[in-house]
Amino acid sequence: MAIAYPHFIGSENASMDTGFPSLSLPTPLSPPVILTQDELKKIAAYKAVEFVESGMVLGLGTGSTAKHAVDRIGELLRQGTLKNIVGIPTSKKTHEQAVSLGIPLSDLNEHPVVDLAIDGADEVDPDLNLVKGRGGSLLREKMVEGACKKFVVIVDESKLVNYLGGSGLAMPVEIIPFCWKFTAKRLQDLFEDAGCSAELRIENGEPFVTDNGNYIVNLFFKRDIGDLKAASDAILRIAGVVEHGMFLDMATTVIVAGELGITVKNKH
């Protein structure tokens, strides 16, 4: 989706009957700049990289938004602006990208505490809870980002929702392949009151397989699922479930790129 970035000026007029000062209709100084959704993601990603300092251990996210951040980190390393960075990738795809950019890599075994992680999200609610993992990397993302001192999330404004599941798009759950239909049915029944439907993720006509050799079941909700912590615990109690895509109380900062520019939301 393309979004216009108009450049406006406003001037105060005399107060109207309400007694409040009013602004004149905005006057364009130049034609609106049209930014695509990907360009908005890039703006947010570059802003997030401003949090990175030399000597940090970084969690490197996965997905179209996080890719821009990883590219930027590689660029700053080549320029010498950043030094002594160690990256911990959250997927094989990000690992390959980081290697191609010359970013030194390690893992949680060697660096169990991560200074900062930067990643995208599929949904962000008003309390900065997230849905992540529609790219299929939710388990490794949650392991790395759960070990972070700071977790900066980068999104465009289309990802903001009133409640998790509110976009009507998938909330992914990683499950083992063994008897996956049985597990998917249990997940669907768990959220029957929210009008849940559970679907196996298919790619190129075959079940999508994660980096960990597991399947993904996508949950779709028609209504709010309510208490997120209770929902999380209930999902994880189902045998056959590995992990789910709700990232609760993990983000410390969310950077949102929208038609009015960049908004930075911090966890209170």
Active site residues per annotation: 141
- C-alpha 107/C-alpha 95 separation (Å) is 11
Q: Which two tokens stand for residue 108?
A: 């949680």
- C-alpha 40/C-alpha 258 separation (Å) is 7
**37-49 and 64-79 helices cross at what angle (nearest 10)?**
50
Residue carrying structure tokens 């911990």: 88
Closest CA to 265 of 119, 145, 165, 153: 153
Closest CA to 76 of 42, 53, 106: 53
CA angle 129, 73, 260 (to 5 degrees): 55
Whether residue 211 contacts residue 106, with contact meaning beta carbons closer than 8 Å, is answered with no
Burial grade of 203 (CB within 10 A; 0-12, 13-18, 19 or more) = exposed
DSSP secondary structure string, 56-125?
-EEEE--SHHHHHHHHHHHHHHHHTSS-S-EEEESSHHHHHHHHHHT--B--TTT-SSEEEEEEE-SEE-
Tell me the CA end-to-end span of the chain in Å, nearest whole number. 31
